[in-house]
Amino acid sequence: MKVPELKDSLCGLKLETGCKIIGFIYLITSFTMFITYARIEYDHYTLRMEVTEEYEKTMNLEMMKVLITIIDAIVGIITSTLLLIGAYKKKPFFLLPWIILRAIFTLRYISISLYKLIEKDVNIYDLGKVTVEVISIYLWLIVYSFYKHLKIQEDGIYA
């Protein structure tokens, strides 16, 4: 199955401009997520001395989720930075990490949401995440289309 390619991006802007906007949005979001969840981890660490054993057992799973989110945020910061470098320097290779990891993250979120739907454990937060993931698929298509555009230009130059 062929992935559709777009001719323009957000509100009729050029793919390059849309790609830069997307890079900044994801960079800011990832950085904010990192700061927020790092603060949660810090608060948990400073309160660790005062918790009961039962509370500790229930919090271990929650803190594992927080650590995974922090790792996701760090990866997001790195890949968004590479995306911006690729967009500004018009180097398709730098767009690849963002394209690949965003596809993996999107599939992961959709899989989790589908699992919760099957298990009938869906809440309004999960429905909101699905909506965000549908939008992120469109944003992914913009970056992918820009990548393909740059690859065609690069191949044309070196061919």
CA-wise closest residue to 101 among 121, 126, 123, 75: 75
Q: How many CB atoms lie within 10 A of CB 115?
A: 11
Q: What angle do CA 136, 79, 59 make, to 5 degrees?
A: 80
The predicted structure's pLDDT at residue 48: 55
Confidence (pTM): 0.80
Residue-wise pLDDT tens digits, 79-131: 999 999 999 999 999 999 999 999 998 888 888 877 777 777 667 776 777 78
**Segments making up each domain of the chain, as ranges:** 13-158
The amino acid that residue 73 corresponds to is A
**Terminal CA-CA length for the chain:** 26
Residue-wise pLDDT tens digits, 27-75: 999 999 889 887 776 666 555 555 566 666 666 777 777 788 889 999 9
CB contact at 8 A, 5 and 45: no
The amino acid that residue 86 corresponds to is G
The amino acid that residue 13 corresponds to is L
User: Please, is 1 exposed, middle or buried when counting C-beta atoms within 10 Å of its C-beta (0-12, 13-18, 19+)?
Assistant: exposed
SS3 content of the chain, % helix, strand, coil (to 5): 85, 0, 15
